[in-house]
Amino acid sequence: MPQATLEFDGVRYLDGRASDPRHLGWMRGAPPPPERLVRFEDDRFFTFPQIRWSLSHLRELLPTVNVWRGEGAPSTFGESASIGQEAIDTLAFTDLHGRERRFDESLHDTYTDGILVLYRGRRIYERYFGALQPQVPHACFSITKSYAATLCAALVHDGTLDAQQCIPHWLPEMKNTAYADATLQQVMDMQVGVAYSELYADPAAQIWDYARAGGLRPRPPGWPGPGSLHAFLQTLQAEGAHGEAVAYKTPNTEVMAWVMQRVTGIPLPQMLAERLWSPLGCEQDAYLSVDTAGTAMAGAGLSATLRDLARLGEMMRREGEANGQQVLPAAVIAEIRRGSDPDKFAKAGYTLLPGYSYRSMWWVTHNELDAIEARGIHGQRLYIAPAADMVVARFASHPIAASAANDTITLPAMLALGRMLRDR
C-alpha cells in the first residue's frame, strides 16, 4: 500500500498518520540507528517529518531555562457532562477550499499533536497524538510573543512603561537602528519599518540569522553573524515608515522583551513564572530556549504543555480572572481583545485573515465570535472565542511553517466549533 501523503506548495509529504513519530521511531533504541537520529547540529531536528518528534523534545536539543510553576496544587478544569467527545469528533465543516470535513479527521490533516477545548472553563475535548503527552511541553513558537506582550501591556497599564516612548529611551544601544524612532506601542503592534524578512520558505531570509543568533538553529562553522540576540537586534536597519502598516517581524518581540527586562530587572522566564504560571495554577513547568548570553527567546522560544496554554486562554476569556483572583487587570485584556486598526493589518496581505487586526502581539479576528488568536509556526494555535465561551489550544507539527498551510482547515474548524457551542 502506498503511504498516504498530502501536498503543499507542490510538494508531497507523509500525512498526519503516516508521519506519526511513534511509528517512524525517531530517537528510539540504545543508541538510535543513525537514520533515526534527530540532531540539532545538522539541523535535521527542524526538518519534516523529524519535527513531529522534536517539537515535543526541544530541550533535549538545545539549552533552555525553566519557567517554574511554583508550589501548590494545579488548578483543575471542570468536566462538562452535556457535550460529549463524539459531538465534536463528528462536527462537519467546509474548509476554505470548499471541501467537506469532519472535525476529528481534520486533526490528522493539520498534523495535530494535541488539542484541548474548554467551554465555559470546562474541558470538553482533549486528545493527544504522536510524541505529545499531557505533561510534555511542546514548542509554542510565536505564541511566545502573545505571552510576552500581554505582560508588557500590563507593565504599560501600571505605568512601569510608557508605550509612547521611543525604544532608545530605555535601550540607548538601539539608537543607530531601525528602532531609533519607533515607539514601544509600534513595536508591540508590529508597525515598525525594519529591513528584515520573515519568509520561512526562503533560506536566505533574516529569520534564520535571528534563529542562529538566538540559539534556535545551529551555526555553520565560522559563522560570522551576531553571536547573541541582543547583538543581532543592533544590526537591524530602517526600511519604510513606522506606524503605517502591520509588518510581522519577530525581532520586534525581542526588542520589547529587552525593554521589559531592562526596566524591571526581571528576566522573562521569571516574569512568566511569577505573573502567569504560578497564579494561573499551571500544572507543569514550562521552558524557554536561550542564546549564549542566557537571554530567553521572547519571540519564539517557549515550550509549554497544552493544558497550561489553555489556562492562558481561559484567563484571557475571563478578562484577566483565574482561580478567583484578578491575575491581570481586566482593562489590559479588554484592550487586547478590542484590537487595532484593520486597515493597517490589511496592508500586510494575509488573504486568509480578512478583517483582522493585530494588537499587543495577538491576532484579533473581529469575527462573529469576537475571537482572538495566538499563532505560532507549524500550526501552534490558541483560539479564544468569548462569544462562544470557548477556548481551543492546539499544538501541531505541520510540514509547512507558515500558518496559511493549515488556516484553510483550522479557521473554519474553529468557527464551526464556536458556532456549535454558541448556538446550543
DSSP E strand stretches across 144-192: none
Query: Three-state DSSP class for 176?
Result: coil
The answer to the question of residue 27 lying near its own copies (CB under 8 A) is yes
What residues are labeled active site? 142
Q: In whole angstroms, what is the distance from residue 228 CA to residue 294 CA?
A: 9
User: Cis bond leading into 31, ω under 30°?
Assistant: yes
- Contacts with its own copies by CB under 8 A: the residue count is 36
Among 6, 14, 20, 38, binds its own copies (CB under 8 A): 38
The answer to the question of residue 401 lying near its own copies (CB under 8 A) is no
Query: Three-state DSSP class for 9?
Result: coil
- The partner residues of 241 in beta bridges, in order of sequence, read none
Among 91, 131, 290, 390, binds its own copies (CB under 8 A): 290
The answer to the question of residue 113 lying near its own copies (CB under 8 A) is no
Name which of 71 and 86 has its Cβ closer to its own copies.
71
The answer to the question of residue 24 lying near its own copies (CB under 8 A) is no
**Site mask for its own copies (CB under 8 A), range 68-87, x = bound:** x--x-x--------------
Q: In whole angstroms, what is the distance from residue 42 CA to residue 177 CA?
A: 32
Sheet holding 302-304, edge to edge: 64-67, 286-289, 302-304, 138-139
Among 4, 293, 334, 352, binds its own copies (CB under 8 A): 293
Q: How many CB atoms lie within 10 A of CB 262?
A: 11
Q: For residue 388, what is its C-alpha cell?
A: 462562544
The answer to the question of residue 285 lying near its own copies (CB under 8 A) is yes
- The partner residues of 118 in beta bridges, in order of sequence, read 123, 391
**Site mask for its own copies (CB under 8 A), range 205-224, x = bound:** ----------------x---
> Which range in 152-160, 285-293, 356-364, 406-414 contacts its own copies by CB under 8 A?
285-293
**Pair 65, 296: CB distance under 8 Å:** yes
- Which residues are CB-contacts of 237 (< 8 A; sequence separation ≥ 6)? 177, 178, 194, 195
Name which of 38 and 188 has its Cβ closer to its own copies.
38
Q: How far is CA 328 from CA 188, 289, 321, 358, 406, in A?
A: 18, 25, 7, 20, 31
Q: Which of residues 240-269 bind its own copies (CB under 8 A)?
A: 258, 261-262, 267
Q: How many CB atoms lie within 10 A of CB 102?
A: 14
Rounded to the nearest whole angstrom, what is the least distance from the CB of residue 58 to its own copies in the complex?
9
Among 2, 10, 31, 98, binds its own copies (CB under 8 A): 31
Among 135, 164, 197, 237, binds its own copies (CB under 8 A): 135
Q: Which of residues 140-179 bind its own copies (CB under 8 A)?
A: none
Q: Say if strands 100-102 and 302-304 run parallel, antiparallel, or are unpaired.
A: unpaired
> Which range in 62-70, 103-111, 374-382, 412-420 contacts its own copies by CB under 8 A?
62-70
Q: In whole angstroms, what is the distance from residue 208 CA to residue 401 CA?
A: 13
Task: Give the largest Cα separation in the chain, rounded.
Answer: 63
The answer to the question of residue 32 lying near its own copies (CB under 8 A) is yes
Name which of 8 and 40 has its Cβ closer to its own copies.
40
Q: H-helix or E-strand containing 389?
A: none
Among 18, 61, 83, 348, binds its own copies (CB under 8 A): 61
Q: Could you list the residues that contact its own copies (CB under 8 A)?
A: 27, 30-32, 37-41, 59-66, 68, 71, 73, 135, 221, 228, 230, 258, 261-262, 267, 283, 285, 287, 290, 292-295
